[in-house]
Structure 1
């Protein structure tokens, strides 16, 4: 690598270990790296075995044991890129200030720099309260096995710091939309498409009607979006399709709209009474709203950033969800997007800005010492 920045070199080791969510060996390898980083430090390590074929979680604890609520950091170590991406489409490399690689921006860069800050504070003994750092294996698929752990730690916390990537220009996140995920399955009646066409009841035709209705539920003025991005069905080219399926993604800005949209999607009724519709799923992540306590925590972060030497800003409510949605919905002051700056999340052009590592690390260190 042309850049000899020690932070970039150390982070590159994390990036080179590919860890897509459903590749448990890779995710567990990342958890091993975390545990190895804190060996010999005044940091307690707890490892929670994975389940449902997913990887483990790691919880680090340090700071004062004074009965106060903790300041907690949350990072996920799973990525969306399949194994082999770094060998072919997105090699780990440095070009100027950019460090490229699978998951470097979302969110291994943020996890790595936050761990360095956590270690700094643990070694210095400079925290005012207990510190907790949770590393999870399944955020990219909605945190199905770790939501209860996230919420349990959230309830123990005075503040939660989430190291999802920074937004444009280093902005952090103080509000996110809620996320709903649904699966719709349709069963019609098969028939030969030539000789017995009238006897058939097409599941795909019904799916088309339903998809148009669902897409029509988008209401930009209210911040509600609906999309169908996965679809399948049919048996053969000359058979009226008996089966079809599609997935639905819903984003909302309020809890009330989340409940309303969940009821609408779960209540889908067929246009053709001879086709059966089965809908499963629901609101996966509640909305994360910028409450007064979140705003107060943001002002604290702005003060820390000013001492570091930069002007910290936040961005308008973003459409993507994170584990911060869970803690914010519990009323716990939550800041998100505290991770590395860069761009290209979930793409083959994903990169992080090396120059953002030091100031973001200092920001998290200051928050761990201040909150």
Structure 2
């Protein structure tokens, strides 16, 4: 525990917002140093389009067990000044603690524990990506390539509420819709304009109706903007839309409807950008791994385990989609991801790290 807490503090104190590639590169060096020191294997730097990812791999053969983590966060540089690292009264606080630097530290120490016991870790890989929080655009191919030969993928994202493991995740799609109208003087001759703001209003209502809450599909207008000055008919507007779906069929249904959107205001033009980002992680693919986790937790006296499907996506969506058994939420127990109260419960770090080690051992022996 002292070593794990020391490493976790180093990771958190090295701020790594996804969009700041220099900060992510600095964080990657910290991850590499910790991983090499604890595991005794070289860290492979994998830089794609300027974004820094790493692989800590045992042996040179195919990957048999993939541990999947990310070291980027949603927190901008300087967040530590407002939300400082602290470890008091059994709670660790700080930006990126539960999402997911604690899980990353746990993954390193679970493998170090197995190595200390003399386990043969050939074929085990800890892949640490640097752009998960912004859609994994540069790391998706790396994730899928490392996962293809694996017997299982263990995702080190924070646990669901009350420590539940994540056996299902919704697929995610992101869209930006540009509205093109025509400017005119709002007082002198508004009839000569094509009001992009009015079209935007219609569009918000149309898009919101695409959701199907009865099957878990949400279509949420998020960021909207229009206009330039208070006395000008808006010539342009923009709408961002977040889509979440439990099944690939629902995700495709909404995608087709988004691409087929047409303008309501005469003369307005819509241009739809974006699309499907992460496919759904459906619970059936995690069933066997979750059953193994329950059995191992009982054997090790680690307490009962629950499972939960969640709305947020992770890199586990990619591995599940290519048919690799995937179990998520194996990182820290805590809460407040992306929020000011982000935290980790210290008392759960050791038992959950032990569970992770047991699952790796189980997969190696299967």
Q: How many residues align?
A: 362
Q: Is the CA contact (8 Å cut-off) linking 1:182 and 1:247 kept in structure 2?
A: yes
Is this contact kept in 2: 1:110–1:163, CA < 8 A?
yes
* Alpha-carbon shift at residue 195 of structure 1 (Å): 0.3
* Residue of structure 1 in register with 2:256 after alignment: 263
**CA shift at 1:125, angstroms?**
4.0
C-alpha distance in 1 between matches for 2:257 and 2:42: 46
**Deviation sequence 1:229-286 (CA, Å, 0-9, x none):** 1112211110000010011100111111111110011111001230010001111110
Q: Are residues 1:303 and 2:299 paired?
A: no
- Which range moved further: 119-128 or 323-332? 119-128
TM-aligned CA deviation for residue 25 of structure 1:
2.3
1:290 and 1:49 map into 2 onto residues whose CA distance is: 32
State which of 166, 171, 192 in structure 2 corresponds to 1:178: 171
Which secondary structure does the structure 1 equivalent of 2:243 belong to? strand
What is the aligned partner in structure 2 of residue 281 from structure 1?
Answer: 274
1:72 counterpart (60, 66, 73) = 66
Q: Which runs of 5+ in 2 are unaligned?
A: none
User: Is the contact made by 2:113 and 2:357 (CA closer than 8 Å) also made in structure 1?
Assistant: yes
1:19 to 16, 30, 38: 16
Determine if contact 1:8/1:99 at 8 Å carries over to the other structure.
Answer: no
Matched, 1:59 2:59: no
Query: Quick one: distance in 2 between partners of 1:164 and 1:38?
Result: 18
**164-173 or 42-51, which moves further after superposition?**
42-51
TM (normalized to structure 1)?
0.93
**What is the rounded CA distance, in whole Å, between the counterparts of 2:35 and 2:140 in structure 1?**
25
SS in 2 for 1:287: coil
Q: CA deviation at 1:116?
A: 1.0
What is the RMSD of the two structures over their aligned residues, measured on CA atoms? 1.7
CA distance in 1, matches of 2:36, 2:168: 35
3-state DSSP of counterpart to 1:316: strand
Q: How does 1:134-283 map to 2 (within 5 A)?
A: 134-283=127-276
| Match among 305, 308, 313 for residue 321 of structure 1 | 313
Distance verdict in 2 for CA 1:73–1:169, change over 3 Å: same
SS of alignment partner, residue 175 of structure 2 = strand
Normalised by the length of structure 2, the TM-score is 0.94
**Per-residue deviation, 1:14:** 1.2
Contact 2:63/2:147 (<8 A) preserved: no
- 1:94 Cα deviation (Å)? 2.0
Assess, with a 3 A threshold, how the Cα gap between structure 1 residues 62 and 123 changes in structure 2: closer, same or farther. Answer: farther
Is 1:85 the counterpart of 2:83? The answer is no
Separation of aligned partners in 1, 2:295 and 2:349:
19
Structure 1 unaligned segments of length 5 or more: list them: none
Residue 44 of structure 2 is matched in structure 1 by 46
Distance (Å, rounded) in 1 between the aligned partners of 2:47 and 2:23: 14
- Residue 134 of structure 1 deviates from its aligned partner by 0.5
1:342 counterpart = 2:334: yes
Contact 2:221 2:239 in 1 (8 A): yes
- For the residue of structure 2 that corresponds to 1:367, the secondary structure is helix
| Distance 1:116-1:6 versus aligned 2 partners, 3 A rule | closer
Other-structure match for 1:33 = 30
Partner residue of 2:343 out of 343, 351, 355? 351
1:212 & 1:117 partners in 2: Cα distance? 49
Q: Which runs of 4+ in 1 moved over 4 A?
A: none
Asked if structure 2 preserves the Cα contact closer than 8 Å seen for 1:226 and 1:250, the reply is yes
Cα separation, 1, equivalents of 2:121 and 2:34: 23
Residues 140 and 312 of structure 1: is their aligned pair in 2 closer, same or farther, counting only changes over 3 Å? farther
Pick which of 116-125 and 138-147 moved more.
116-125
Assess if the C-alpha contact under 8 Å between 1:193 and 1:240 holds in 2. yes
Deviation at 1:50, TM superposition (A): 3.6
Partner of 1:10: 7
